[in-house]
Amino acid sequence: MDRYERILTLHRILKAARYPVSFSRLKDEVHCSRATLYRDIAFLRDALGAPIEYGEDESTFRYAADEAERFELPGLWLTSEELAALLALNELLGRSDPGVLAGALAPFRARIERLLSDQASGRSLPVERIRVLTSGSRRLDQAVFRGVAGALLNRTRLRFGYRARSTDATTERIVSPQRLAHYRDNWYLDAWDHSRDALRSFALDRIRDPQPLEEPALDREAAELDAHLASSYGIFSGAPKAWATIRFSSHAARWVADEHWHSQQQGERLPDGRYELRVPYSNSRELLMDVLKYGPDAEVVAPVSLREEMKILLQLALGAYAGNVQ
């Protein structure tokens, strides 16, 4: 550790401690010599104003009880690990959809860059060594995002036109926004749809001309939102209608066994090395598409209806390759 990190570590230990901390423990935590530790404690107390109290033989240390909660190190102090996390966040902001978040977050990103520069003592940090890749993100109007987010945070109802992909028809909706969800690099609005008297999820890239209304939004209980919007697989809402059982080859099991498919998923290694995964689902479309990407390494076992649906998809896909390319 350099001196910067030692001071920060000492401060966090002493601030969190309910009882005096021994000199030997502090020495083990900061990995330095006895003399260096005494110098650091003196600097923390005299230069930074930390309310350090010593034990009778100066073998234990603590922050004064009446000042420990109030005292913080001046400025912003970060460990090397926290600095790396901040560096990754800075890159993530830079790679976000420039039409949605980049403009609004530009001041925040500029502040992070100044903090990184200050922390590195003017050195140029290797930002290019952090890669943030997106896949399948759809173009989103910045005005739509601001309008939806504003109504959500101000707790007002929202009117907008919605063009559903399933029908390609546009309808007018009046909703009470409940949550914004960022799922697979795209944004969705979970809302109470007043015209349908039910919870629905809307892709923000299909919303047009959102208009906040003066009428306050109707709040739904968090448990109700989770039961309807998070209990089934994927972005499709609704209570689970069944559990899917999928078996993966021993080769694919190396990846699938460590993947998060659903908060209630159940997985089991089979004696022959294959992996069996069970997840609840309401709408089968997204689940089947995710299984298809594993090709011959995945097999839908149950329920029978889902297995038959997968067979039809595979037959249709094979039919597309039956003739010559036109």
* Structural domains in the chain (count): 4
User: 197-222 burial, b for 16+ CB within 10 Å, e for fewer?
Assistant: eebbbbbbbbbeebebeeeebeebee
Q: Where a domain ends, among 14, 35, 63?
A: 63
Query: Residue 132 domain-assigned?
Result: no
What pLDDT, on a 0 to 100 scale, did the predictor assign at position 55? 82
Specify whether 259 is located in the same domain as 308. yes
Query: Residue 174 domain-assigned?
Result: yes
Specify whether 212 is located in the same domain as 282. no
Specify whether 248 is located in the same domain as 314. yes
What pLDDT, on a 0 to 100 scale, did the predictor assign at position 103? 60
Query: Residue 121 domain-assigned?
Result: yes
Report how far residue 232's alpha carbon sits from residue 241's, in angstroms, rounded to the nearest whole number: 8
Query: Residue 235 domain-assigned?
Result: no
Q: The domain containing residue 7 runs over which residues?
A: 3-63
Query: Residue 170 domain-assigned?
Result: yes
> Looking at this protein, which amino acid is placed at residue 284?
S
Output the domain CATH number for residue 201.
2.30.30
What lies within 8 Å, CB to CB, of 282 at 6+ separation is: 231, 232, 233, 236, 237, 238, 239, 240, 241
What pLDDT, on a 0 to 100 scale, did the predictor assign at position 101? 59
Can the peptide bond before residue 126 be classed as cis, meaning omega within 30 degrees of 0? Answer: no
Output the domain CATH number for residue 51.
1.10.10.10
Query: Residue 228 domain-assigned?
Result: no
What pLDDT, on a 0 to 100 scale, did the predictor assign at position 113? 63
Please say whether the dihedral angle defined by the alpha carbons of residues 69, 71, 74 and 80, taken in this order, is positive or negative: negative
Specify whether 261 is located in the same domain as 318. yes
| Cβ contact 78:91 at 8 Å | no
Average pLDDT, 10 consecutive residues per value, the chain (326 residues): 82 89 90 90 89 84 87 71 66 58 60 59 61 74 87 94 89 93 86 91 92 93 81 72 94 93 92 95 90 94 95 91 76
Three-state SS annotation for the chain: CCHHHHHHHHHHHHHHCCCCEEHHHHHHHHCCCHHHHHHHHHHHHHCCCCCEEECCCCCEEEECCCCCCCCCCCCCCCCHHHHHHHHHHHHHHHHCCCCCCHHHHHHHHHHHHHHHHHHCCCCCCCHHHCCCCCCCCCCCCHHHHHHHHHHHHHCEEEEEEEECCCCCCEEEEEEEEEEEEEECCEEEEEEEECCCCEEEEEEHHHEEEEEEEEEECCCCCHHHHHHHHCCCCCCCCCCCCEEEEEEECHHHHHHHCCCCCCCCCEEEECCCCCEEEEEEECCHHHHHHHHHCCHHHEEEEECHHHHHHHHHHHHHHHHCCCCCCC
What pLDDT, on a 0 to 100 scale, did the predictor assign at position 265? 92
Instruction: Specify burial of residue 253 (Cβ count, 10 A radius: 0-12, 13-18, 19+).
Output: buried
Query: Residue 233 domain-assigned?
Result: no
pTM for the model: 0.63
Specify whether 253 is located in the same domain as 200. no
What pLDDT, on a 0 to 100 scale, did the predictor assign at position 96? 56
| Cβ contact 174:159 at 8 Å | yes
Query: Residue 134 domain-assigned?
Result: no
